[in-house]
């Protein structure tokens, strides 16, 4: 058997190539949109990709099933409950896919219907030989992760309650996956950092036995307790998820791998004025905070670039990239992986543009943790418990001190301290906020910030923070681009403040 896992760190996404080396027949599971690596590896191994299987209709990335079908003539398969805008093979619960020479020998995959994350979710049990007592492994999609299970709330907008889906997930886990032998290896579709679950491990494989023992969601409990557990504290859903789910369900244009054209500053600004384009600065955060074009949005290529871009740029919006020379193609590809194909071009030589256009250049306002009032960080429910640190109204910052005399850190441009009474916004996910937050902070996760700006007063100062200072820079850029005049973020975020106060 040929078995290969392809793990994409920037989206915490895994895909799989499984083939029978005797016959050369192969399937590809949960592929990303840029497919050249799969095609190269299959050819090198003497494999023909005959079937592309999706464990479910993905929401966090644009899948490559259409690109692979075009390149290889492979059929596309989903679980039996899937409804799509293109022809598919529907895999029934218990259906076997044999890659061997006569349908009875060789590598075999068995589809298990496992609704819960989505209605059409399936898992695939892999046997290297049909009569092996212990399967080689199981591809669990978004049903079971290492350390977690799939979130059950993504279909709420379609009329399926999170509680109903969580109950289905519980039954899928206990009647399907946990009946497999403990030695069965587990290969999920996502790892740490993915918004498809709450506390995914950085490990990209495990075993059924280890997950039975260690996964918090698989411990003995009543179904009702499981439902309460997995419907609470899920990360905010990035704004592009519904867009990607629709494209993966209904169909989408094939990937155009060409490089984005170079644009002058005048051409870039004209695209903003005439086509509604946004300027997306994908340089490192330190470079962005030192100098950036007024009105530009930001998310760095050295972070979860596509996910964060999909949180601050609306789907379908034309984009002009501001990227370090030589990185514009990577930025375009990573946007294409979430279905953001309308990249009009990239600004040629942004460093030179910023140097010769000071009237259009801005510098981010950042403060250090020691410029905040010295109250100790508190659990977010401290106010309800009557803790003294909750004297500031929710969403309003306590007093902020003057900048230190020895100047800000190298990655923190000098800024006047915001006025007392600033709106203090924690842009981390709910579980992070609930574990501990700054006094008076209000939680508006970055993933939902663009849709909740009306909850903030643009005439008042805003102080933003996250865990370590990355997401807060992205949030500050969004607010500045939307006309908020007095915005700053905390360098080092909650982590720095908590370390300082012990």
Q: Which residues are catalytic?
A: 466
The DSSP bridge partners found for residue 297 are 280
CA distance 69 to 427: 40
Take residue 498 and report the two structure tokens written for it. 């908590």
DSSP, residue by residue, 432-489:
HHHH-B-TT-EE--HHHHTT-GGGS-TTS-EEEE-SSSSHHHHHHHHHHHTT-SSEEE
- The closest of 371, 327, 345 to 279, measured between CA atoms, is 345
CB 486 within 8 A of CB 462: yes
CB 61 within 8 A of CB 39: no
CA distance 464 to 487: 8
CB 475 within 8 A of CB 456: no
CB 197 within 8 A of CB 144: no
- The closest of 160, 157, 87 to 121, measured between CA atoms, is 160
CA distance 453 to 458: 9
Largest CA distance in the chain: 79
């Amino acid at each position: 058997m040929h078995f290969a896992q392809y793990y994409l760190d920037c989206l915490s996404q895994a895909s799989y190539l499984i083939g029978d080396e005797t016959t050369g027949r192969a399937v590809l599971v949960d592929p990303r949109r840029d497919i050249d690596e799969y095609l190269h590896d299959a050819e090198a191994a003497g494999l023909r990709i005959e079937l592309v299987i999706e464990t479910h209709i993905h929401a966090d990335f644009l899948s490559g099933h259409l690109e692979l079908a075009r390149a290889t003539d492979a059929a596309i398969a989903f679980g039996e409950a899937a409804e799509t805008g293109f022809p598919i093979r529907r895999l029934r619960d218990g259906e076997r896919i044999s890659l061997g020479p006569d349908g009875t020998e060789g590598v075999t995959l068995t589809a298990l219907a496992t609704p819960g994350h989505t209605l059409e979710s399936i898992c695939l049990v892999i046997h290297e030989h049909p009569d092996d007592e212990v399967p080689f492994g199981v591809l669990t999609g978004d049903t079971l992760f290492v350390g977690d299970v799939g979130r059950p709330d993504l279909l709420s907008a379609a009329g399926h309650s999170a509680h109903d889906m969580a109950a289905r997930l519980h039954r899928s886990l206990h009647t399907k996956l946990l009946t497999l032998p403990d030695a069965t290896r587990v290969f999920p579709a996502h790892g740490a950092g993915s918004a498809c679950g709450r506390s995914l491990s950085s490990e990209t494989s495990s075993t059924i036995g280890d997950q039975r023992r260690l996964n918090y969601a698989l411990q003995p409990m009543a179904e009702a307790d499981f439902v309460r557990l997995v419907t609470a504290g899920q990360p905010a859903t990035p704004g592009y998820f519904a867009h990607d789910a629709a494209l993966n369900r209904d169909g989408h244009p094939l990937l155009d791998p060409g490089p984005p054209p170079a644009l002058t500053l005048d051409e870039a600004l004209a695209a903003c004025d005439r086509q509604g384009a946004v300027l997306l600065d994908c340089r490192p955060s330190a470079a962005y905070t030192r100098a950036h074009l007024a009105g530009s949005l930001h998310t760095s290529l050295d972070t979860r670039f596509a996910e964060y871009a999909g949180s601050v740029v609306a789907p379908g919006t034309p984009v002009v990239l501001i990227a370090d020379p030589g990185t514009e193609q990577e930025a375009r590809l990573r946007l294409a992986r979430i279905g953001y194909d309308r990249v009009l071009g990239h600004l040629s030589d942004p460093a030179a543009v910023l140097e010769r256009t000071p009237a259009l250049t801005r510098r981010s306002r950042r403060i250090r943790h020691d410029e905040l009032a010295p109250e100790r960080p508190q659990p977010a429910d401290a106010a309800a418990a009557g803790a003294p640190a909750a004297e500031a109204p929710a969403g309003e910052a306590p007093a902020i001190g003057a900048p230190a005399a020895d100047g800000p850190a190298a990655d923190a441009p000098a800024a006047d301290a915001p006025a007392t009474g600033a709106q203090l916004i924690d842009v981390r996910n709910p579980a992070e906020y609930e574990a501990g937050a700054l006094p008076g902070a209000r939680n508006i996760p970055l993933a939902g910030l663009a849709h909740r700006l009306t909850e903030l007063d643009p005439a008042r100062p805003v102080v933003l923070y996250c865990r370590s200072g990355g997401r807060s820079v992205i949030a500050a850029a969004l607010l500045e681009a939307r006309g908020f005049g007095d915005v700053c973020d905390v360098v080092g975020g909650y982590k720095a403040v908590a370390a300082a106060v012990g």
